[in-house]
Structure 1
Amino acid sequence: METSTKKMTFPSAFSILFIILLMAIGLTWLIPSGAYSKLSYDNIEKQFIVKTYGNPDQRYPATEQTLNQFNIKIQLSHFTNGIIKKPIAIPDTYQRVTQHEKNAIDMLHAMVDGTIEVADIMVFIFILGGMIGVINKTGAFNAGLMSLAKKTKGNEFSVVFAVCVLMLLGGTACGIEEEAVAFYPILVPVFLALGYDAIVCVGAIFLAASMGTAFSTINPFSVVIASNAAGIPFTEGIGFRTIGLILGGICVIIYMRWYCKKLTANPAFSYTYEDRQAFYDHYMKDIDPNATVDFTFKRKLILILFCCAFPLMVWGVMFGGWWFPQMAASFLAITILIMFISGLPEKELIHGFTHGASELVGVTLIIGLARAVNIILEQGMISDTILDYLSHLVSGMHGSVFIIGQLLIFIFLGLIVPSSSGLAVLSMPIMAPLADTVGIPRDIVVSAYNWGQYIMLFLAPTGLVLVTLQMLNIPFNKWIKFVMPIVGCQFVISSILLIIQVIMYGH
């Protein structure tokens, strides 16, 4: 009698997010709905608007007196200059509201609405994919990879090291998150040509960028906006954040070095060994490592233009006020320029563009589905309830216990609110004043927010993890196995630095 056994497979990113959507719906039935009053600035009328559930909007003069009236310790200029754009939660205004249970119909609407809300990110990713497709048609990638492989022979890890350092710096300076998606199509073939696997790709890009973002020093999208919302200059606490960045970066590089050495010694050590051929075929199908491709001046110029797109993107985000529409437009402009330089037939170029864009459809849909989870939680009005409960939980604790409690709270809130700026404006006006009650500086709470949230965002399916894994075809359970040592390192580093700061202030 024949017996057949089916190999157990881990659910795909789509299935994981669908399950989380169902859980989110369940939470809207179990957790009471509630809301804080929210204050925002009307740039047209030059007034503050206070929205309170169930009441008409109230308008107030945009003055320091109004902010003091609502116990909001934020400089008026942060509102008037557009530094803080999202509504700020007003302390001590939480109230229970009518229960907002969600159902299956709401879930379907959220899936569609979530996809619409991230349309700008989707367009950016499609244009990126199209650019890669065009450059593949020119043969520039193939020629460049062969040249790089020859130059780094015997010193392959130097490429991994350089990418890790760049991602760490990009993360700490401008919070490279969604933008990191742009680096995979070009760097993945590089790592494969050097003999590495999918895990090395995600480690050098996502892991390093996330560690840099976790220990942000001047990142305007997390630590700066959180400090502003806490009513303090973002330079407060920057010394300890820098120390954390150095320690976290060392941990990432040492860990990547260990993994790469193991992989080089025994390719079967790879955490994704079973899927290695499919992954290689997908990313290297247009690249023949045995082919002789001349690295002509035209191909070098094409790769130079392609590489220029990334520092231009970083500059635009940091100093030009760019977001995904502007980044997509810059990538599209460079793609069109490359098309003219290539000299290839128009039909061949258009086919390369559309084919490259089509390969990233699954990635873009994951982003929309992840956003649907946030929509369900927002519409269920349970995020404010969770925040109110947690703020009362740690209120009045001893300094060291309080700050570790804050770290744990922000780890949890990172799952509920995966947006760094969104969590900052929601939580800082509530959590930062609690530091005053236990006699510690508010910048320590800002650090707890940043470090705690990103411990979770290494793991949270509602963040960018599943988008990254979908792009690299890595099962979620394999990622968990790889990333947990780094999560543990970050938790230890964060806890020690937070306690040291509390002790320095006599608590």
Structure 2
Amino acid sequence: MSEDTTVRQGPPPTEPKRRKFSLPSAYTILFALIVVMAIATWIIPAGTYKLDDQGAPIPGTYSEVESNPQRILLDSLTAPINGLYGIEDAKGTISYYNEGVLFGAIDVALFIIVIGGFLGVTMRTGAIQAGIGRLVRRLEGRERWMIPILMSVFALGGTTYGMAEESLAFYALVITVMVAAGYDTLTGAAVLLLGCGIGTLGSTINPFATGIASGFAGVSISEGLVSRLVILVVGLALGIFWVLRYADRIKADPTRSVVNDLRGNAEAGFQMGQEEQTATMTGTQKTVLVFFGLAFVLMMYGVIPWEDLGLNLPTLWWWFPEMTASFILFSVIIGLVARLSEGELTESFVAGARDLLGVALIIGIARGITVIMNNGQITDTVLHWAEVALGDVGQAAFAVVMYLLFLPLSFLIPSSSGLATVAMPIMAPLAGFVGVPADLAVTAFQTASGLMNLFIPTSAVVMGGLAIAKVPYGTYLRWVWPLLAMLAGMTIVVLSVTALLTS
């Protein structure tokens, strides 16, 4: 009987997985900033400016006052709550209004939630999806024209309501059509990613970027509209040029695709299904799209001060409460037009509102930073330091400095609404010190945020869209960076020229 001398070995040891570094969420970053600001109130001297009749700080009137340091734990926890309801002053009283300006963020947060419900009801009808699908089918055989037309359509969604996550529903359809037309998956992804992204970069009436930033800057959403339109049109033209140039190149020679080595596997899953080929757009869905567009047209009309512009049109003097009520009304109208039952209407509204609840919470947390700074009376001190450092740079240079400052801040806080809530209470008065209109600070913020959200890896839209298209992030980054440089340069020129013209 022989003995088995074989040495039995267990499974080979597995190497421990390396944890990839990832930035924390916007909630964590913003709450950490609240704590940092609470600590700062123990270090930074307290001070105040004298205010003019409109409640704005008067340059050159800063003086130090007795410090009022904040409690690190308790005040940090209550700051977001006070930020939603109204800003506490140094004596602990809550001021909801000052010279007609609402300081609490509850109206903005509620507006965001209602916008989510409005979008949820509209998406439930299938009108937006059917409209895009119909456009794609009607352009069959003229595929090259699909690129500028689709990018313009998606840019319209970006500039009006900040179309971002909603675009993920269209990637499979658009990429399928582009692959069938002889292009690659990157072309289809770029049509959506750059179309929506450049539209958001050039936001005109986007409530999530321009609306929130304008509200906290104390200006109307219509102020600065001309410069934002220029950025939108020129930026979109650059984006269309860049995608068309690439598409034409790989149409002539498919091997020049930047994802050529991956095309076989990447394109295998993008085949035009029977449903996409035969689905038609109903008359009801066409009517829904009319009311969908009318909701944003009415919002724009309601906030423009026609009287101040010297135009003989009734001025409604709308702001967030009226705009919120308007979108509730249009949600009901769209639901009735689409013949949604009461249960379907409320369910889709609540589901859409739920999707944007996180944005509303971000606004409250971000506003808590301002509460801590105001209660600790260090906001004016920070303004004073910036006034001393930047007061003599001139309007054009200051506009550029604002833009460059917002770029890293947009990476740190990728939420446009959160960044607007944090930055505008400081940047808008600072702009006023050097004679730059507050609306230009809004434009600098939204263009910087829009540019960063075209490529930062913390963007769910960027990473999600590229994952659907099976395009590696590094490949996309190498392909898109020249366009990003052109967009940044164009924006700096527009900001500089606008600052000079308004000085």
Q: Name the structure 1 match of 2:134.
A: 147
Task: Give the Cα separation in 1 of the matches to 2:36 and 2:248.
Answer: 40
CA contact (8 A) 2:154 2:192 kept: no
Deviations 1:194-229 (A, max 9, x none): 227888656434543434669xxxx99999x9999x
CA distance in 2, matches of 1:457, 1:301: 34
Q: 1:227 & 1:346 partners in 2: Cα distance?
A: 38
2:69 corresponds in structure 1 to: 101
CA distance in 2 between counterparts of 1:166 and 1:409 reads 26
Partner of residue 431, structure 1? 434
Q: CA deviation at 1:331?
A: 1.9
Alignment equivalent of 1:194, drawn from 161, 166, 174: 174
Closer/same/farther in 2, CA of residues 12 and 245 from structure 1, 3 Å limit: closer
Aligned to 2:302: 316
**Cα separation, 1, equivalents of 2:77 and 2:373:** 14
Aligned-pair CA distance for 1:151: 2.2
Q: Which residue of 2 aligns with 1:49?
A: none
> How many Å separate the matches in 2 of 1:199 and 1:146?
17
Checking the alignment, whether the CA contact within 8 Å between 1:20 and 1:373 is kept in structure 2 is yes
**Residue in 1 that maps onto 2:119:** 132
- Does the residue aligned with 1:101 lie in a helix, a strand or coil? coil
Pick from 8, 18, 30: which aligns with 1:17?
30
CA contact (8 A) 2:68 2:377 kept: yes
Aligned twin of 1:284 = none
Who is 1:302 aligned against? 288
Instruction: Give distance in 2, aligned partners of 1:35 and 1:288.
Output: 67
Cα distance in 2 for partners of 1:503, 1:349 equals 50
Q: Deviations over 1:34-75 (max 9, x none)?
A: 22111234xxxxxxxxxxxxxxxxxxxxxxxxxxxxxxxxxx
Q: Deviations over 1:237-269 (max 9, x none)?
A: x8x998777655544554566788899987979
Q: How many residues align?
A: 403
Structure 1 gaps, min length 5: 42-86, 171-175, 229-233, 270-279, 281-286, 433-442
* Displacement after TM superposition at 1:351 (Å): 2.3
1:89 paired residue among 47, 57, 62: 57
For 2:491 and 2:133, how far apart are their aligned partners in 1?
A: 41
Q: Deviations over 1:301-338 (max 9, x none)?
A: 22322232222222222253322222222222122223
Distance 2:375 2:247 in 1: 45
Please name the residue that 1:371 is paired with: 367
Q: Which amino acid in structure 1 is aligned with residue 20 of structure 2? A: M
Pairing 1:30-429 to 2, within 5 Å after superposition: 30-41=43-54, 87-102=55-70, 103-116=72-85, 117-153=104-140, 154=143, 155-163=145-153, 166=156, 180-181=161-162, 183-184=163-164, 188-190=168-170, 193-195=173-175, 201=192, 203-211=194-202, 248=235, 250-254=237-241, 290=276, 293-319=279-305, 320-394=316-390, 404=397, 407-408=400-401, 411-412=404-405, 418=420, 422=425, 426-429=429-432
Task: Classify 1:472/1:2 alpha carbon distance in 2 versus 1 (closer, same or farther; 3 Å).
Answer: closer
Asked if 1 retains the 8 angstrom alpha-carbon contact of 2:198 and 2:235, the reply is no
Provide the C-alpha distance between the structure 2 equivalents of 1:22 and 1:446, rounded to a whole number of angstroms: 28
CA distance in 2, matches of 1:308, 1:95: 50
Q: 1:193 to 1:24 in 2, by over 3 A?
A: farther
Unaligned runs of 5+ in 2: 1-12, 86-103, 176-186, 261-269, 306-315, 411-418, 466-472
How much does 1:454 deviate?
5.0
Deviation at 1:291, TM superposition (A): 8.5
Query: What SS class does the counterpart of residue 322 from structure 1 fall into?
Result: coil
Q: Distance in 1 between matches of 2:37 and 2:274?
A: 46
C-alpha distance in 1 between matches for 2:245 and 2:355: 32
User: Between the two proteins, what is the percent identity of the paired residues?
Assistant: 23
Q: CA deviation at 1:372?
A: 2.1
CA gap of 1:289–1:197, structure 2 versus 1, over 3 A, is farther
Cα pair 1:407 1:449 within 8 Å, conserved: no
Partner of 1:438: none
Instruction: Describe the SS at the equivalent of 2:369.
Output: helix
Q: Is the 8 A contact 1:142 1:288 kept in 2?
A: no
Q: Residue type matched to 1:140 in 2? A: A
What is the CA–CA distance in structure 2 between the aligned matches of 1:497 and 1:332, rounded to whole Å?
Answer: 36
Task: Give the structure 1 partner of residue 4 of structure 2.
Answer: none
3-state secondary structure, aligned to 1:156: helix
Aligned equivalents of 1:4, 1:143: Cα separation in 2: 48
Picking from 11, 14, 37, the partner of 1:2 is 14
Mean Cα deviation higher: 200-209 or 14-23:
200-209
CA distance in 2, matches of 1:125, 1:502: 31
Alpha-carbon distance in 2 for matches of 1:454, 1:307: 22
Aligned partners of 2:36 and 2:165: how far apart in 1? 33
Q: Distance in 1 between matches of 2:323 and 2:114?
A: 10
The range that moved more, 246-255 or 380-389, is 246-255
Mean Cα deviation higher: 416-425 or 139-148: 416-425
Amino acid at match of 2:173: A
CA distance in 1, matches of 2:388, 2:322: 42
Cα offset, 1:93, TM superposition: 0.8
Q: Quick one: distance in 2 between partners of 1:358 and 1:500?
A: 41
Is the 8 Å Cα contact of residues 46 and 65 (structure 2) preserved in structure 1? Answer: yes
Conserved? CA contact 1:226–1:428, under 8 Å = no
Report if aligned partners of 1:143, 1:295 keep a CA contact under 8 Å in 2.
yes
Going from structure 1 to structure 2, the CA distance change for 1:305 and 1:109 (only over 3 Å counts) comes to: same
